[in-house]
Each structure stands twice: as C-alpha cells, then as structure tokens.
Amino acid sequence: MSLPGDDVLFLPVTELSARIKSRHLSPVDLTEGYLARIAKLGPRLNAFARVTPERARAAARAAETEISRGRYRGPLHGIPYGAKDLFATAGIPTEWGTTACAGQMFDRDATVVRKLSEAGAVLLGKLAMVEFAGGLGYRFANASSSGPGRNPWNTERWTGGSSSGSGAAVGGGLVPFALGTETWGSILCPSAFCGVTGVRPTYGRVSRAGAMACSWTFDKVGPLCRSAADCRTVLETIAGADPDDPTAADEPARLPRARRDWAKLRGAIIPLDFTKAGEPEVRDVFERTLGELRGAGLTMESATLPEFPASELAGLIITAEALSSFETFYRDGRVKRLKDVYAPWQPDINAAMTGADLVKAWRMRTVLQHKMAEFFERYDYIVTPNFMSVAPPIEQDLYQALPYSDPVGAVGNACGLPAIALPCGFGKERMPVGFQFVAAPWDEALLLDLGELWQTRTRFHSERPPLS
C-alpha cells in the first residue's frame, strides 16, 4: 500500500468521491494517508482533541468492502472527516474543549455524526475547539484544552475560533471536511483565517441533537470544506428534521443547483469602515473581489442594514443562555478549570441583567427579524468582508488584535440567517482573506450557487498552505 500524497489529500470531496466510486481510490488508503498526515502535523496545529485511528480504520474497511460489492451509498461513502469535540460520539470522549469535561462520555452519537456514519463517512477524530465554544468568553487563543489553534498558513498565527480545529484541519489538509458550529462567528471566523469554505446554515436547518448547547436559540451546525460544492454535499447529508431536536425544521434537505439569471438578482454590499482598525490589504482584496463578482454578472449596490441595536440584543441573549447552559459548572466549581480567568466571574458580572431585560431582548429580536424580512424583499443576498484583518499572532490579546465590530454577524446570527465564507485572496504575510455572502432564511441553495460561481472563476480555495 502506498499512501496518497498531498495532491490527493488536498482534493475536494467531489473529486475524492468520484475516485472512490470508480474504485480508483481506496477508502482504506485514503484514511491511512490522512492518519499519517495527522500524526505528522496535527500536534503542530493543535488541530485534534483526540484522533480515533482504530475506529477510522474499521469504518474505512467497511466502506471499502461495501463499495467493492457494489453497494455505493453516495458521495460521502469512504470519505474521512473530523468533528468538533462538542458532538457526542458513543464510545469516544467528548470534552467540549476543556479539562472541566475530561473523560465526558455520551452513550449515543449526535444526530449529525449518525447521519454521516449512515452516509458511509469515516470519522478520523474529534477536533479541537475553544472551551465551551467560547460560551463563557475568552480573550486568548490558548483558551482550549488542546492549546491554541495554530494556523496552517503560519503556525505563529491563530486559526480563529471557536471551531479552531475544524479550520486548522481542513486548511492544513488533515481532513477533507469538518463539522463545526456557530453561535456567533465560529464557522465564519476560522473559515476566513484558515482559507477554507464554510457554511453557517439557517438556524434549524441542521439538528443540534447531541451537540453541546451553548446558546440554543443561536447555535447552528455547519460544514467547513475545500469548496462550496463540498459544502453542498455535506450540508445536504446532515440537514433535515429530527425528532430529537424540535428546532430542526422540516425543510427539504436537498439544495439543488439552479440556473440563475445573476443580473436579475440584487446584491447588497454592506461596506465596512477600514479606516480605524481594518488592514488595507484586506480592503484591497475585497475591492478586487467585488470587481470580479461584477465581472461574473452580479448586480450589486451599496446598502445599509436596518438601524437596530442587534449586537446588544444578541450579546444579552447569548450571555443569558450560556450562563444557563453551563450553570452546573458553577455549582460544582469546575468552571475554575477553564483557562479564561474571567469565566468564573460571569454570573457576578451579569447579575444586573433581569428577566425582563431578557424577554425584551427576545421581543426586539422578533422586530429585527421583521426588519430583515423587509430588507430581503429588496435584496437577494448580502456581500461583505468576512474579517477586516488576517489571522492575528497566537499570543496576542484578542481584544487588541481584532478591535472592530461585526454588524453583519450580529444581524445574521440574531435572525438565524445563512452565510457562506469564501476565500478571496491573501493579506499581509500571505495570510488568507475571505468574504461572505449572507441570504434570507432557507436560501442556502442560492449561497452555494454563488459560492460555486465564485470558485469557478477563482482558485483561492485550491491554494495550499506552506506546511510540510
């Protein structure tokens, strides 16, 4: 057996699955190739919380046997992947990024893990993450039991969070795709910093059953992949109603490509102010991106989001829900095992928040939803930079490193809007730069079509980091 080289390990799922289906690529060999790369590079990136080689080999052998007998399950059959360590996996510890949950076991798989298993995908291990997905806050990249997420493009820079391992593993060629979650930014941020493609689905598109609850009216599960086409494949596999998650909507899981008249769709460019904290290189990349998108036939104009205190209401609700989600860790004192020094103080810090405040924030959220529904009567999608700077140095205080707001993220997450993060170039020190499309609820198919359009015209998603 000769292990597949980087040329194969960096292929998108669409290509890997074609080779597996045609039996030109063995799932066992592919799995061994990734396991070897994980053994070599995983610790340098702090990408994995736990690698599960024996389980992976067994799944790969099963896939290979089935395929050789003509029972091909579909495009993820025999495809390895990694799951953020907040998805329950029977028989494998699920530690939520903190030693406070060391050895935590669940007796069944999260719904998304089960669906991927049923599709024949091969779990390589649990991916590193920021403790509690950042639910009790963090100020430094090292707020994780796995250590700071190290960026495959420069290991002295951060991956972004909280799906740090998901970004590092996909970006570094350790897995062809990964599962992440986003409450506010945790898929889009590592996607931008690590130069990968990620989708934050509409709230309710994907079941959270078996996933750690951080802020349950904000939490979303989504894929980080090498391409928009791969995101489509993974999202179609994990989406859909689930009796174990009453918030999982009964929307069609299929997200078919459509022939679109791009000129007839209206895009809203939400301009960001780079003058105070943004990096000019990132601004320039985004300007070039807009030019390329116009060249592809998109019709876009500058627009503004509804005037609304979206950041405040989102922050308040997330805070309240996270304090409830992790209350038991305060009761038994395990919160002191978190690396963020302020986490133990959060109930005290937030004691002034009343129930009436929270209920009002919920009601304001509904008002904001209506305003955004009106916005999407005028526009079909939003296009805006993902971040205004590249990944910061690993040791830097994140408050200082990234001192700007995220109005699109606030509105997008408060309203449960889907978004796709796409690589679009490089900034200083040749670190990846990304942008995002955001759409109305349930319009992931449009976002994926936009992403595929972009990626047929550019090769940024195919770039590989200088990692060996």
Partner 1 sequence: MKGGRGTRDATAKRATRRSFLKLVAAGSAAIMTGAVVPLARAAAAPAKRGRASVPPAVKAEIANQKAYLTRTLKVIREYDLPSGSDPAFVFRPLRARRRR
Which sequence positions are flagged as catalytic? 84, 162, 186
Q: How far is the CB of 138 from partner 1 (least distance, A)?
A: 6
Find the binder of partner 1 among 118, 374, 397, 429 (CB under 8 A). 397
Q: Which of residues 402-461 bind partner 1 (CB under 8 A)?
A: 402-407, 409-410, 413
- Among the residue ranges 20-28, 67-75, 139-147, 436-444, the one whose residues contact partner 1 (CB under 8 A): 139-147
CB closer to partner 1, 314 vs 431? 314
Find the binder of partner 1 among 134, 418, 432, 465 (CB under 8 A). 134
Q: Is 147 in the site for partner 1 (CB under 8 A)?
A: no
Cα–Cα distance between 249 and 208 in angstroms, integer? 11
**Binding residues with partner 1: total (CB under 8 A):** 81
Q: Give just the sign of the alpha carbon dihedral 257, 263, 267, 271.
A: positive
Q: How many CA atoms lie within 13 A of 43 on its CB side?
A: 3
Q: How far is the CB of 37 from partner 1 (least distance, A)?
A: 27
CB closer to partner 1, 68 vs 350? 350
- CA distances for 308 relative to 10, 414, 437, angstroms: 42, 11, 21
Q: Is 185 in the site for partner 1 (CB under 8 A)?
A: yes
Neighbours of 57 (CB within 10 A): 16
Find the binder of partner 1 among 110, 121, 238, 313 (CB under 8 A). 313
Q: Is 307 in the site for partner 1 (CB under 8 A)?
A: yes
Site string for partner 1, 153-172 (x = CB under 8 A): -------xxxx---------
- Among the residue ranges 14-22, 99-107, 175-183, 426-434, the one whose residues contact partner 1 (CB under 8 A): 175-183
Find the binder of partner 1 among 181, 227, 233, 436 (CB under 8 A). 181
Q: Is 390 in the site for partner 1 (CB under 8 A)?
A: no
Q: Which of residues 314-373 bind partner 1 (CB under 8 A)?
A: 314-316, 318-319, 321-323, 336, 338-346, 348-350, 352-353, 357, 359-367, 370
Cα–Cα distance between 444 and 162 in angstroms, integer? 22
- CA distances for 186 relative to 213, 439, 446, 456, 463, angstroms: 14, 18, 22, 26, 22
Contact 449, 437 (CB under 8 A): no
Cα–Cα distance between 16 and 10 in angstroms, integer? 9
- The one-letter code for the residue type at 66 is E
Site string for partner 1, 254-293 (x = CB under 8 A): ------------------xx--------------------
Contact 135, 95 (CB under 8 A): no
Q: Is 189 in the site for partner 1 (CB under 8 A)?
A: yes
CB closer to partner 1, 125 vs 167? 167
CB closer to partner 1, 117 vs 396? 396
Find the binder of partner 1 among 5, 252, 256, 309 (CB under 8 A). 309
Q: How far is the CB of 176 from partner 1 (least distance, A)?
A: 23
Q: How far is the CB of 68 from partner 1 (least distance, A)?
A: 41
Site string for partner 1, 202-231 (x = CB under 8 A): ------------xx--x-------------
Neighbours of 2 (CB within 10 A): 7
CB closer to partner 1, 338 vs 446? 338
Q: What is the dihedral of CA 325, 416, 166, 90, to 10 degrees?
A: 50
- Among the residue ranges 51-59, 230-238, 256-264, 310-318, the one whose residues contact partner 1 (CB under 8 A): 310-318
Find the binder of partner 1 among 398, 452, 453, 463 (CB under 8 A). 398
